[in-house]
Structures are given as structure tokens and as C-alpha cells.
């Protein structure tokens, strides 16, 4: 394994357990023009860039706000979640230290915009943990499930994607990693406990299992 790329939401921080109920109960009913019981659920857009999520919702359901209003709603929610509610993955700091000590490059590869990523990096003081930070904002093409963000990460790290691992918690993220020819590790939490992870090469059931999987991958 030359590199390990971590998704942010639901992996580095436990934000999906906050985003999912917030989207299902407050945000989506307010921004989507659909009869009660016929609107979208959070899992349809989990792992997508917020602009791509708006385009999807507008196309599939119709929206009650313009894109700027949609982004403002999500920015307000993100400030609350990342500044006050989310927690860092248990053991994340030591896991990254061990990977880097073993010569494995480490990247953060997220659909979130940089303004959200920066909140996490600064709050938990983990900016120095990553050799590269790639947001969907950084690519000209579409966000996850397209491979562009992972291809950009491999290019920045100067590594072979086929010798790299991506740790993801959503179907869109796993599809993006596989399309980029990386080994796709699904990270299971309480927020995605019912997911089937069809695109995963392997499933990690929590932080201890993830550590064991990555340690096995970095051995010569």
C-alpha cells in the first residue's frame, strides 16, 4: 500500500450520524417540493458534493429554494455540526501516525467544500496528519461517485491508484474509489449499519477492524 485516502464525513469524523437525521427531519422536507412520504431520504445524497446534491434533488424531485439558498442552509448546519457536535474517529491520530511511520502517504479526500473541511482540520488540529487534502471543489469534473477526486489525490501524492486504499462510508464514495482503481474499504458505523456496501472490496466493522485491515495492507 503506497497511500491511504480517508473520506472525512462518517470516517475521520462521525458527522453522518448527525447529518442523516438532520437532513431527513429538517433540511430535505424544507428544500424539496414533494408530497409527504414521497420525498428523498438522506442516503440518496450521502457522499455527494453539496452542489451535486442540489442538482440531483432539483432534477428528481424539484426544489423550493435556489442553489444559493440551498448552500446557505447546508453551511449553517455544517457550522453547528463541525464546530460543536462531531467527534474524531477513535484512534485516528495513532492510526495515521503508524501509517506515515511505515512510509504510507495519507490523504483526506472529501466531497465536502474546503470551508467545511477546514473546520474539522482546525478544530481537531489534524491538518498536519495529511500529505494532501482534496475536496470536490478542487476538480473540474463531477464529485463522487465519479473518480475525479481520488484520481486527483493519487496525482498529488504521486502514487499508483492500484497500490492505494480508500476508506469510505457511503455507496457514492465506494463507487468513486473503485472507479479510480483503488482498493475500497467500507467503514461501518451506526449511521450506515444497514448498508450492503456492494462496491466495497472489504468491510471494516469499526476502528479496531479498520486498523487491522490497514496494517495487513501495509505489510510487505
Residues in CB range of 37: below 8 A, 6 or more apart = none
Neighbour-count burial of 154, counting CB atoms closer than 10 A to its CB (0-12 exposed, 13-18 middle, 19+ buried):
buried
- Is 7 a known active-site residue? yes
- As given in the structure block, the three cell numbers for residue 191 are 449511521
Reference 206, options 175, 178, 185, 182; nearest CA is 185
In 3D space, the residue among 153, 100, 133 whose CA is nearest the CA of residue 12 turns out to be 133
Single out the catalytic residue among 9, 52, 58, 148.
Answer: 9
Residue among 7, 52, 148, 199 flagged as catalytic: 7
Q: Is 52 a catalytic residue?
A: no
What the block records as the C-alpha cell of 25 is: 427531519
CB-neighbour burial class of residue 85 (10 A; exposed 0-12, middle 13-18, buried 19+): middle
Q: Which residues are catalytic?
A: 7, 9
Amino acid at each position: 500500500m503506497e497511500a491511504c485516502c480517508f473520506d472525512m464525513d462518517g470516517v475521520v469524523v462521525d458527522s453522518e450520524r448527525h447529518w442523516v437525521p438532520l437532513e431527513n427531519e429538517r433540511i430535505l422536507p424544507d428544500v424539496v417540493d414533494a408530497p409527504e412520504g414521497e420525498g428523498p431520504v438522506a442516503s440518496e445524497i450521502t457522499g455527494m458534493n453539496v452542489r451535486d446534491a442540489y442538482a440531483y434533488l432539483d432534477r428528481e424531485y424539484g426544489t423550493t429554494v435556489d442553489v444559493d439558498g440551498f448552500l446557505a442552509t447546508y453551511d449553517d448546519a455544517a457550522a453547528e455540526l463541525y464546530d460543536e457536535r462531531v467527534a474524531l474517529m477513535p484512534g485516528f491520530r495513532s492510526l495515521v501516525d503508524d501509517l506515515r511511520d511505515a512510509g504510507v502517504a495519507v490523504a483526506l479526500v472529501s466531497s465536502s467544500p474546503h470551508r467545511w473541511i477546514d473546520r474539522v482540520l482546525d478544530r481537531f488540529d489534524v491538518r498536519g496528519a495529511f500529505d494532501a487534502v482534496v475536496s470536490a471543489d478542487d476538480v473540474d469534473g463531477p464529485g463522487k461517485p465519479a473518480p475525479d477526486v481520488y484520481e486527483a489525490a493519487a496525482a498529488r501524492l504521486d502514487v499508483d491508484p492500484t497500490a492505494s486504499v480508500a476508506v469510505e462510508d457511503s455507496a457514492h464514495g465506494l463507487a468513486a474509489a473503485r472507479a479510480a482503481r483503488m482498493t475500497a474499504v467500507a467503514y461501518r458505523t451506526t449511521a450506515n449499519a444497514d448498508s450492503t456496501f456492494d462496491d466495497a472490496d472489504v468491510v471494516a466493522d469499526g476502528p479496531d477492524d479498520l486498523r487491522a485491515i490497514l496494517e495487513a495492507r501495509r505489510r510487505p
